[in-house]
Amino acid sequence: MSDKSLTIDLKLTGKEVFSSAEAPWAKNENQRTLNSANKNNRAVLDDSSTTPQLALAPCVQTVTVGGAGSTSVDLTSLPGLVLPDDATRTIDGTGYKIVAARFKTPSDNAGNITIKPGLTNAYELFGTSNEVDIPPGHVVVFGAIDAAAASPTIAAGVKEIEVDGTVGDTVDMELYLGT
């Protein structure tokens, strides 16, 4: 069996350099610089982690918004990474949770992409009745770093997320499943 791992490394670092007029007391640029370095949120998940644990191969796909501006993603039938590139592989997420995900929209999308619970067999990825709008050219990344994933367990009646937007728009989706 293959080894699987995921490194989650979420960090934002901001910086502002004031002019000499704004900080006349400063002797150099370093003294006129403010840094905002937030705590680096980092975790390495693999099949030997305690909580959360990565259990299945990464599921990576580009979802295209279909007719009526909506496409359903079935978490019990996801495309997994494969070797060789022209092979196919289907991952069944039944019994697992989404422990980390990344959604990225291209800048040439006509409008926002909305990720929300499916219309039937709803999987509430962002909590009860919650959804996330992702504007063109943006990315949303999240992961269970210090505790078990709060997302629900995938099952026959809890297995679909909905991708809404303008027909033809796309979102690159990476899902990592575990416990």
Before 24, cis peptide (omega within 30)? Answer: no
Neighbouring-strand partners of residue 17: 33
CATH number of 48-178: 2.60.120
DSSP 8-state class, residue 119: S
Structural tokens at position 165: 């937007």
Structural tokens at position 26: 């400063």
Report pLDDT digits (tens) over 118-167.
Answer: 999 999 988 877 899 999 999 998 887 666 667 899 999 999 999 999 99
**Residue ranges covered by each domain of the chain:** 7-41, 48-178
Report pLDDT digits (tens) over 28-65.
Answer: 988 888 877 666 666 677 666 666 777 788 899 999 99
**DSSP code string of 88-113:** --EE--TT-EEEEEEEE--TT-SS-E
